[in-house]
Each structure stands twice: as C-alpha cells, then as structure tokens.
Structure 1
Amino acid sequence: MKYIESMQNTRVKQWKKLLGKKERDKSRKFLVEGFHLVEEALKNGLVEDIILKEGTDLPVKWDVELADLFTVHNEVFAALADTDTPQGIIAVCHKPRFELEEGSLETVLLIDRVQDPGNIGTMIRTADAAGFSAVILGDGCADPYSPKVVRSTQGSLFHLPILKGNLGDWIERLQTGGVKVLGTALQGAKPYREIERADRFALLVGNEGSGVSTELLQKTDQNVYIPIYGKSESLNVAVAAGILMYGLKN
C-alpha cells in the first residue's frame, strides 16, 4: 500500500484530470466513488487503481490483486471526491468495451440531447433493470462517465453496453436489422398502450425541454406518448422512459 501526501504528486495530478471529460475521453479512464460502485467495477475487471482516504479499510473479501493500492492524505482525497459525504474510497477504472452483434440488439434505448446527469444515469439503470440490450447516447447528452452519471447508474454502467453515436445513423441501422423504432412525441403520435407491440424495438427519448428533434422523429417507424390524467404539463424524461421501457415490452 503506497502512501501519497502531496497534492503535487504526479499520480494525484493525473487522477484529478479525470474529473474532466477531455481527459476521460483521451485516456478512456474514469473515477468511481463509493464501496458499492468500486466493488462492481472490480467484479467486471475494470479497476486500475484504488485510492483510500487515511483511516479507511478495504473489505477483506475483495479481490484486489490486479489493482494498485494507495492511501492518500485527507486533503488529497477531498480534491478527488465528488460527493458531499465521501465514503473514503475511489477507483480509477478503464471504460468498458462492448462488442455488439446485430442480432443481439433486441431492445434499445436511444437518448437525444438529455443533459442532466441524474436523468442519464437513471435511464441507464432502468434500461438495465428492464432487460434492454443497449443504451445509445446521441450528441448533446451528458457524459455517461461523469461522476454524477456513474453514481446514478448504481453499477449498471459496468454491464450494460453504453454507446455514443449519430442517432440518425443508428435509427437506420436498427431498422435495417428489423428493429422497430418508436419515437416519443405529442404530435402525430398514439398512446403507447394502443400500438401494436414488437418483440424487437428501440425507444427514442429526448431533451428535457424540447423533446426529440423533429429530424429524428421523421425517421421513426411510429411515435408514442404517455397520457397525462392530472394537471401536470409533462413527465420527467427519466420517469417517462421508465414507464415506456417496461410498458412496451412483451
């Protein structure tokens, strides 16, 4: 177990850079905070370094043979932590790599320009729980490897394929592979309970304020909406996505 006290340490400077998207993209690494998430990352073989605050112990049952272990001064740990009440453990992880075969994409969540990290994380977690094959993030979405999104996924990020790409291209690719693409909209749409179900489908949800772009909605096979029976004007995008992911599955 190596001890680091100085904020000027080369490793500390490199770890701090991972709080920014630019370095995460460049290095294909990200930070994971908290015992549950670090354990999930270990189970999936993604951990490179484990960073412990002074006075924090590793669980005895963890297999950390492949990770480098560091104890750091409280000031150093505070500079790396993103939570208000840190648990005293952070891991440096490699981004998971997923290889998708065309036939394996049974149910897919497509996300257009959703910017709130909590919404992105919640939708990834719900897609995992609903048994979806993958989540695909279009341009303008929050970074799935930012600390807030990682926490919101509660570990689903490690075993559900999360991809980034041009959603227009993905819609065409999915349709060519026999996957029905369902957009979410109020105009020219049907209540989701009234459409013909499909075993293989992709659900397209959009930005918190403006919804799915018109350009993408013109590419879908069908558009659906969730009826609102009370006085609320709309549903939170993560809540709506959850209702539809479960409601549309056969």
Structure 2
Amino acid sequence: MAKILLAGESWISTTTEYKGYDSFTSTKLEIGCEALLHSLKELGHTVTHLKAHDVPEKFPWTMAELNQYDVVLLSDIGSNSFTLSNGVFAGGNPAVNRLELLKQWVLAGGALMMAGGYLSFSGFEGKAHYHGSPIEDILPVSVKPYDDRIEAPQGVHPVQKVANSITTDLGPFPVILGYQDIEPKPDSQVLMIANDTPLLVTGKAGSGRTLAYGTDIAPHWASQDFMAWNHYGEFFSRCINWLAGKLVAVS
C-alpha cells in the first residue's frame, strides 16, 4: 500500500461568547480529515498528516524529503502556505519555492492529488490561488483565476462518466453539496462529473501522476450521507492506489 503525506484539512477557530455584560473567547484546533485518515489506515495505507498551520515550516524542503512518500495529497490548503514561510514573510530572506519543488518531484515520478474545498484550486474569493502556479502546471485540470465554487445546497449526485478502476462497482455516489468549477486539460481523463462539471480527473505529468477531485473529503461539501457511505474509504483508497501506480484508471 501507499505512503501518503496529507497536507492541510485543519483549521483553528476562535469563538467569542457574549453572556450579558460579560464575554469570553475560546480557541480550538479542528481536524477535518479524521474520517479519511482512519479509513486509509484501515485499508493498509501509511498516512502522515501535516496540519495546515504546520505547512509553512514543516512541508518538505527537499526532494529527498518528498521521496519518503508515494503520494502527496493537498486538501483545503492554499498556495500561500507553501510560499510564505517565516523566513520569507517575516525575515525577508529567499527560500525554496516548494510549489516548484513539488512540481519537479511529480515530473520525476511522484504523485499528487488535490481535493476540493474553500482553499483548494482557486477557492473562496480566489484565495487558494493555484491559478498560474507550478501546481496548476502539473494538475490534470486548469484552475480559474477567480472564485471557482459551485454551491449545491440541494445536493448533486456525482455520476461516473466512463468505466474505470477507481469508481466502477462502487454503486451510486451519495450527494455532494458543492464543488469546484475545474476544466480538464486535453490529455486528461474525466472519470466523474457533477451535473456537467468535471469532478474526478486523472492525468500524467512527466513521469508522475496527478488527480483532481473537485469536491471536499469532509463536510460541508461532502454531505453526511457521503461521510456515512460504506464505500467512502474504498473510493479514496482507489484514488491513492491509482496515483501510486497500482491501478489503471480507464479500462
């Protein structure tokens, strides 16, 4: 099975409660990928989770560090977290562009998956900002230069577009509540759609593989029915296995 580095999918929330004259503030760390981490580990994968606030300093700085993994999964983590380390932003010193490093790693045979969310692809108000980045160069989809969210509170069922080893035999997919407006590149394979929008897209970049999943791995876009789906873990495990070269995407 694969060795995975999952970067992102966490956040720190600060809440102020007002109780008459008085108020108090509380702060907590929230992890959005606990179900995915549990499912992938149960299916035999080894997963290292790098929380979003740790990405600026602790995401790999060298090819050797990246080579410890088979697959890198970026989930709900914007491009600034990779380019604005403390040394750059606070210190004003040059440093490795880890978006370019990740691109070179994939071209040399690595594997990258981006999952959707408010800080994926373009994201909320365009703040994820992967348009025009080295990551867009290797993804199997083009990224919009503006807010690319399509909210679907009514629920949309993802639909398989072509028979493939990732989604075939998993049955109907539960509804999702939103997704990204991503556009497949010419040599990519669109495996699933939401309405008429590509949702699951695979491609090659140099000697490596890339996969774009245009919706979230957790709520709110992943509905509660999706989270409770008995094939939740198997679906993402197949995505990882394809990236790691253990599956042929289109049969």
TM-score, reference length from structure 2? 0.25
**Between Structure 1 and Structure 2, which shows a larger proportion of strand residues?**
2
Higher Rg? 1
TM-score, reference length from structure 1? 0.25
